[in-house]
C-alpha cells in the first residue's frame, strides 16, 4: 500500500475493527487508518470467529473493514453474520474478488461500500471520508448501470424451482447447513430456539424432497454450479451463492 498523506479526515470514526486474514495487509490498513483518524482505536481479527468474539465481548467499532475471503467463511455468509450482530455499524467490504453483481448484492445486504484490495492508499482517505460521512462508497467500475438498476438479482435460490419455494428464513438456514453448521450454532446465529431450527429443517427437507441435510446440501451445490456456468464471472457468482 502506497504512503498516505498525513492529513486527518474529520468524522465520527474513533474505533475500527479490521477483519482480514493477511497480517501484512491488515497492518497496512491499520497504519493508513491511524494517519486518517488521529487517536483511532484499532482492533484486528483474522477469522470470523475472532471478530464475533470481539463484538460479543463488548467491542463497539464505529467502522468494520471486512475481508470476504476468510478461512472460516463460505461466500458472503460471514458478512451476513457480522451485519446481523451490529446492524447499525457501517461495514466496508474489502475483497480481491469482485464483480458488479457481487458488489450490488453486498449493498442490498447493507454494506457501507466496497473496496478492492488493490486500491491505492491515496484513494483510501477519500473512501474513509465518504463512509465517515454516512455515505456509501462504490468504485465506478462496480456501480450498477442504468440498464441493470431494475434487474432483479439472480441466484440459485431464485432460479432453482425447489430452492425458490423456500421461505427467506429457510434459505438462511439452508445456507448455514451448507457451511456445515450444527443446529445449535444455526439457532445461535439466527437468534432462534433450537426446536424452531429443527422444525424449519424438517419443513425445508420436505419442500426440497430430500431425506437429509447432506442431500439438501448436494442439491444446493448442484444448483450453484448450474447458475455459475451461466455467468460471465463464474467465480464471483459461485462465491455469491455460497
Is the pLDDT assigned to residue 92 strictly greater than 80?
A: yes
Q: What is the per-residue pLDDT for 121?
A: 75
- What's the fold here for domain 156-241? Arc Repressor Mutant, subunit A (1.10.10)
Nearest to 12 by CA among 135, 137, 109: 135
Q: Do domains 15-142 and 156-241 have the same CATH topology?
A: no
Is the pLDDT assigned to residue 144 strictly greater than 70?
A: no
Q: What is the per-residue pLDDT for 235?
A: 55
What are the distances in angstroms from CA 221 to CA 58, 127, 140, 174, 214? 36, 36, 32, 11, 11
pLDDT single digits (tens) 1-48:
433 333 344 456 899 999 999 999 999 889 888 888 888 999 999 999
Which of these ranges, 74-78, 93-97, 182-186, has the smallest mean pLDDT? 74-78
Task: Compare 168 and 57 and report the one with higher pLDDT.
Answer: 57
Q: Does domain 15-142 have CATH number 3.40.50.2300?
A: yes
Q: What is the per-residue pLDDT for 124?
A: 84
Q: What is the per-residue pLDDT for 45?
A: 96
Query: What is the overall mean pLDDT for the chain?
Result: 81
pLDDT (mean) for 74-97: 86
Confidence of residue 230 (pLDDT cuts 50, 70, 90): low
Q: What is the per-residue pLDDT for 87?
A: 87
Task: Compare 189 and 195 and report the one with higher pLDDT.
Answer: 195
Is the pLDDT assigned to residue 199 strictly greater than 50?
A: yes
Q: What is the per-residue pLDDT for 152?
A: 44
What distance in Å separates the CA atoms of residue 42 and residue 79, rounded to the nearest whole number? Answer: 19
Can you give the residue ranges of every domain in the chain? 15-142, 156-241
DSSP string over 175-235 = HHHHTT--HHHHHHHHT--HHHHHHHHHHHHHHHT-SSHHHHHHHHHHHHHHHHHTSSSHH
Burial (0-12, 13-18, 19+ Cβ within 10 Å), 123? middle
pLDDT (mean) for 133-144: 84
Pairing of strands 91-95, 113-116: parallel
Q: What is the per-residue pLDDT for 222?
A: 79
Q: What is the per-residue pLDDT for 35?
A: 83
Task: Compare 164 and 50 and report the one with higher pLDDT.
Answer: 50
Cell of 30: 491499520
What distance in Å separates the CA atoms of residue 93 and residue 229, rounded to the nearest whole number? Answer: 25
Which of these ranges, 66-70, 97-101, 126-130, 149-153, has the smallest mean pLDDT? 149-153
Nearest to 18 by CA among 32, 6, 38, 3: 32
Total count of residues recorded for the chain: 242
Q: Hey, which of 81-85, 176-180, 199-203 has the most confident mean pLDDT? A: 199-203
Amino acid at each position: 500500500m502506497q504512503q498516505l498523506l498525513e492529513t486527518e479526515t474529520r468524522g465520527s470514526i474513533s474505533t475500527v475493527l479490521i477483519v482480514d486474514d493477511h497480517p501484512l495487509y491488515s497492518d497496512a490498513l491499520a497504519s493508513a487508518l491511524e494517519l486518517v483518524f488521529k487517536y483511532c482505536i484499532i482492533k484486528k481479527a483474522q477469522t470470523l470467529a475472532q471478530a464475533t468474539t470481539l463484538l460479543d465481548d463488548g467491542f463497539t467499532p464505529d467502522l468494520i473493514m471486512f475481508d470476504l475471503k476468510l478461512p472460516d467463511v463460505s461466500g458472503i455468509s460471514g458478512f451476513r453474520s457480522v451485519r446481523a450482530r451490529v446492524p447499525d455499524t457501517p461495514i466496508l467490504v474489502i475483497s480481491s474478488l469482485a464483480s458488479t453483481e457481487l458488489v450490488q448484492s453486498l449493498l442490498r445486504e447493507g454494506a457501507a461500500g466496497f473496496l478492492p484490495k488493490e486500491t491505492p492508499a491515496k484513494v483510501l482517505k477519500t473512501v474513509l471520508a465518504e463512509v465517515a460521512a454516512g455515505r456509501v462508497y462504490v468504485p465506478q467500475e462496480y456501480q450498477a448501470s442504468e440498464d441493470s438498476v431494475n434487474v432483479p438479482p439472480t441466484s440459485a435460490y431464485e432460479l432453482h424451482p425447489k430452492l425458490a419455494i423456500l421461505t427467506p428464513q429457510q434459505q438462511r438456514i439452508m445456507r448455514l447447513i451448507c457451511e456445515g453448521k450444527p443446529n445449535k450454532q444455526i439457532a445461535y446465529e439466527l437468534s432462534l430456539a433450537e426446536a424452531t431450527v429443527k422444525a424449519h429443517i424438517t419443513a425445508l427437507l420436505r419442500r426440497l424432497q430430500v431425506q437429509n441435510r447432506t442431500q439438501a446440501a448436494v442439491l444446493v451445490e448442484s444448483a450453484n454450479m448450474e447458475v455459475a456456468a451461466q455467468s460471465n464471472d463464474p467465480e464471483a457468482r459461485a462465491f455469491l451463492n455460497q
